[in-house]
Amino acid sequence: MGMHLLERDLQLATLHAYADDARRGDGRLVLVSGEAGIGKSSLVEAFVGGLDPGDDTRVAWSACDGAFTPSALGPLQDVADQWGGAVRVACADGVPRDTRFAALLSDLRAHGDPEGLSLLVVEDLHFADEATLDLVGHLSRRLRAVRALVVATYRDDGLAENRALRETLGEASRQRSTRRIALPPLTAAAVVALSDGTGHEPAAVQALTAGNPFFVSEVLRAQPGELPASARDAVLARVARLSPAGRDVIEAAALIGDRVEPDLLRGVTAADTAALDEPIAAGLLVADETVLRFRHEIARRAVEQEVGPHRAAVVHGMVLAHLTAAGATDDARLAHHAEGALDAAAAVTHARRAGDRSARLASRREAVAQYQRALRFAPADQPLLRAELLDRLGDEQASLDEWSAATTSLQESIELWRTEGVPVREGDARRRLSYALWRTCRGPEGLAAAHAALAVLEPLGTSRELAWALATSASNEMLREDFEASRVHGRRALDLAEQLGLDDVRSDALNTLAVAAAWTGDEWYPMLHESLTVALRTGHHTQAARAYINLVDSLIDEVRYPEAEHFYLEGAEYCLEHDLTTWGLCLGGAQAAILLHAGDWQALEEIAAEPLAGDRASPINRITFLVPLGIARARRGLAGSSELLEEALASAAALDEPEWVVLTTTALAEAHWLRGDVDAALGVLDDAAEVASTCSSKRPLAALLRYRVDGTRGPEAVDVPRPFAVELEGSPREAAAAWDSVDRPYDAAMALLGSDDEQDLREALARFERLGTPPAEAMARRKLRATGARDVPVGARAATREHPQGLTAREQEVLDLLGEGLSDAEIAARLVISPRTVHHHVAAVLAKLGVANRREAAARAGNGQSLARHG
């Protein structure tokens, strides 16, 4: 057994067990993780080598290249080259990525019928482009009932910085077909066994390597008594023992990349056979079928970093020349070597092509990297080229929700188009800039940019660009509740769209006109649904995503939560499939609002954590998470709610649109009230009263909060949805029933708190206690005592310890009720939440307890194993 397989029997057996699952038709995605050098590749190689050659199993190996910005869907191309057939046909230039994904899945299904097994290995997923990560996610959701085993390896030591990989792993891990294998370091006993007879002191080797198999192997290759300071030093020490010609070969190999074609290496170095064989004999390079590779990426990078800049440029130039002469078509690889060779013309050409291909395949980050590379080499005396690259860069940055960066790119492109006298491109860039400015909460500037785009484009006559400028102005005006102007521009955009056959503009204009209709009390749903249908039918992903979010938001405003959640789930899946980061975050923010209303505090914390981490989301998308999270924390009496809400309010003030101003001021006022500062709450509401009285979508929020704070009905209390109206009419029990009917338990309890009846108040208190909302509990107790009620219960104790299985307080309650044999509907009635929310909690309980079904979970609840009570 090789060094990297020592102490890996359990992991090997587990892989074989998952292969057996897949052969039975229960497909598996296996994520093999560990630090660099831990032996992930060696484990997979041993697993494949141990498969029964008599089985009808086909294997495809693929890898994500870490030597340079990867080519979009490079691993899928590897599979196409090995398996051919429909997958190869689908990987031809110009084929949409969805078609490629479908072709691979169809191929997996076809080979598995009746009993064949497909094994697909994807190595080094931490280097993957975004489209490849999307492919892994796509497969993870569809492997059930497929005789296929997908094994993906990745480094977990840099996971915190790799957001795209982290999100893919998180999504994949929630699928039933996914399994994980984590590789630990070697034990001290294993290091002792490996060190035997080498002349090295095992304790020193263990201290230096921490049991990392690759590091151990490199250190033990050193001369006895010459223990290197690191594995990198060990690699370089072996390089130093090569002849000058051998060193030239290994340095060229390091610059060529992860996979080194022997003919290319020979052509670049002009080395003789002896020099070419030296690095192989020294164990630095290994043969891997038709190519050579370093034993580990750590070794390749150690050598690459030692090559001087002038020699590196010469070698990169020779590599580029040989690849070009051989007809290489991988523009990402060619762009990397062109940049290394400081060949400006080649770098621009290949980086631009690579960026375009990545953009078509929705590998956004790779597209951004390639366009930025092209811009580094695009000469200042070619302004139109630079403007074109900046426009494309801005589009990709926008797709990643990097709107500040997109704003900078578009502003620069606008100036270039203007000075070069290309008004149609200038106007179109101004139109896109308006949206970028809105996304960064610069509302007045965004509106000005939209109008400037119209001013530039109107004199040029009918065009696609003018149609889009009209649609964008209509959207800006709708958001500022200038409905007359919005309808004028929206209808003109719709007319031009029909005249020119522009389905994307048609969908966008219908969307805007529908939202304007919703906010003014007119019929809106058919128009907005048509917007979605048009976008889905014609493949306009951004417009489809916008239709999903406005459907969800409009349904939330009308308190139609089941329908809203339906479109949320459908839209979230759509955004995930099409790499629509911005719109996926928008939908996540809408779902956060639904979770707030449902009183599902833990799920809300979880959904908001990632978007609010660092600069994950643009300012406008941050608001959609800051507000529900801030309100939830205020209701739970947790610290930090004001900071969240004040950030949201500052962004809304800069945006200067009624909907956002009312949303954030009402949230901050509620936080003041729950802390007992009634004057501050009313002051905030009064400051925003004029805006709130005319804000169609968020007016009910302000009206209801004012009524709860001081019992008055302000100017906002007109034309509100039924649950709001019933409570504002002063009917606590009827209002509570109305709130319960739409799954808003906190609001139902608040309605009862407005009663003067002792039983209503006691029920309100009991509900607040179940929800875990101490500020409202305190209000209920004070009011009970003020009415002369006796035996008012004191507050519950806080939990004194964490649950050993990681269950939240609500999940513990659900588990206890499972132990009583209750159904989801019965649990929902007991906890005053919806059956849908109970279903989510049950799924989380099963996953955290590691049990297969409700019966096993109930048994755990019944015997009290590993369960902690929350006070």
pLDDT at residue 803 is higher than 60: no
Six token digits for residue 10: 């359990």
- What is the model's pLDDT at position 688? 84
Does 719 or 16 have the greater pLDDT score?
16
Nearest to 136 by CA among 165, 163, 160: 165
pLDDT one-digit tens code per residue, 447-478 = 999 999 999 999 999 999 999 999 999 999 99
Give the β-pairing of 148-155 and 117-123: parallel
- What is the model's pLDDT at position 798? 45
Sign of the Cα torsion 471, 473, 476, 478 reads negative
Most confident of 27-36, 687-696, 854-863: 27-36
pLDDT at residue 94 is higher than 50: yes
With beta carbons less than 8 A apart as the criterion, state whether 264 and 319 touch. yes
pLDDT at residue 443 is higher than 60: yes
- What is the model's pLDDT at position 610? 86
- What is the model's pLDDT at position 799? 44
What is each CA distance from 105 to 82, 90, 100, in whole angstroms? 15, 12, 9
Least confident of 246-255, 300-309, 547-556, 817-826: 817-826
pLDDT at residue 3 is higher than 60: no
Does 198 or 833 have the greater pLDDT score?
198
Nearest to 104 by CA among 131, 69, 128: 131
- What is the model's pLDDT at position 859? 76
Region of 518 (left: φ > 0; alpha: ψ -120 to 50; beta: rest) is: alpha
- What is the model's pLDDT at position 2? 44
pLDDT one-digit tens code per residue, 116-138 = 899 999 999 999 998 999 999 99
Give me the count of residues in the chain: 871
Q: How confident is the model at residue 228 (pLDDT cuts 50, 70, 90)?
A: confident
Helix (H) or strand (E) holding 315: helix 309-325
- What is the model's pLDDT at position 795? 63
pLDDT at residue 864 is higher than 60: no
pLDDT one-digit tens code per residue, 637-672 = 998 899 999 999 999 999 999 889 999 999 999 999
Nearest to 590 by CA among 617, 562, 552: 552
pLDDT at residue 320 is higher than 90: yes
Q: How far apart are CA 468 and CA 432, in angstroms?
A: 9
Q: What is the average pLDDT value for the chain, to the nearest integer?
A: 89
Sheet with 117-123: list strands edge to edge.
57-63, 117-123, 148-155, 28-34, 178-182
- What is the model's pLDDT at position 813? 82
Cα–chain center distance at 86: 30
Q: How confident is the model at residue 852 (pLDDT cuts 50, 70, 90)?
A: low
pLDDT at residue 83 is higher than 60: yes
Nearest to 611 by CA among 583, 635, 650, 631: 583
Q: What is the mean pLDDT of residues 716-738?
A: 89
SS3 for 757? coil
Does 387 or 212 have the greater pLDDT score?
387
CB within 8 Å of 423: residues ≥ 6 apart: 417, 456, 457, 460
pLDDT at residue 341 is higher than 50: yes
pLDDT at residue 800 is higher than 80: no
Q: Which amino acid is present at 230?
A: S
Most confident of 2-16, 273-287, 332-346: 332-346
Six token digits for residue 513: 């006109």
Six token digits for residue 615: 């600069």
Q: How far apart are CA 676 and CA 682, in angstroms?
A: 12
Q: Phi, psi (5° rounding) for residue 378?
A: -70, 125
Q: How confident is the model at residue 865 (pLDDT cuts 50, 70, 90)?
A: very low
Does 694 or 783 have the greater pLDDT score?
783
- What is the model's pLDDT at position 805? 62
pLDDT at residue 836 is higher than 90: no
Q: How confident is the model at residue 863 (pLDDT cuts 50, 70, 90)?
A: low
Radius of gyration of the chain (CA): 31
Q: What is the mean pLDDT of residues 337-345?
A: 97
- What is the model's pLDDT at position 401? 84
Number of separate helices (H) and strands (E) present in the chain: 46, 7
- What is the model's pLDDT at position 867? 31
- What is the model's pLDDT at position 299? 85
- What is the model's pLDDT at position 160? 64
Residue matched to tokens 């070698």: 315
Least confident of 728-732, 760-764, 834-838: 834-838
Least confident of 18-22, 516-520, 712-716, 735-739: 712-716
With beta carbons less than 8 A apart as the criterion, state whether 132 and 74 touch. yes
Q: What is the mean pLDDT of residues 143-161?
A: 87
What is each CA distance from 397 to 248, 406, 414, 531, in whole angstroms? 40, 5, 16, 25
pLDDT at residue 866 is higher than 60: no
pLDDT at residue 597 is higher than 50: yes
Terminal Cα distance for the chain, rounded: 53
Helix (H) or strand (E) holding 491: helix 483-500
CB within 8 Å of 8: residues ≥ 6 apart: 39, 43, 46, 183
Q: Among residues of the chain, what percentage have pLDDT more than 90?
A: 67
Does 632 or 854 have the greater pLDDT score?
632
Q: How confident is the model at residue 862 (pLDDT cuts 50, 70, 90)?
A: low
pLDDT one-digit tens code per residue, 485-504 = 999 999 999 999 999 999 99
pLDDT at residue 219 is higher than 90: no
Q: How far apart are CA 61 and CA 80, in angstroms?
A: 10
- The secondary structure of residue 186, as a DSSP letter, is P
Q: Which amino acid is present at 359?
A: A
Q: Which amino acid is present at 75?
A: P
Q: How far apart are CA 670 and CA 676, in angstroms?
A: 10
Other beta carbons within 10 angstroms of residue 719's beta carbon come to 12
Nearest to 169 by CA among 202, 197, 137: 137
- What is the model's pLDDT at position 802? 45
Nearest to 639 by CA among 630, 648, 647: 630
- What is the model's pLDDT at position 848? 66
- What is the model's pLDDT at position 832? 62
With beta carbons less than 8 A apart as the criterion, state whether 39 and 4 touch. yes
pLDDT one-digit tens code per residue, 39-81 = 999 999 999 999 887 778 899 999 998 878 888 999 999 999 9
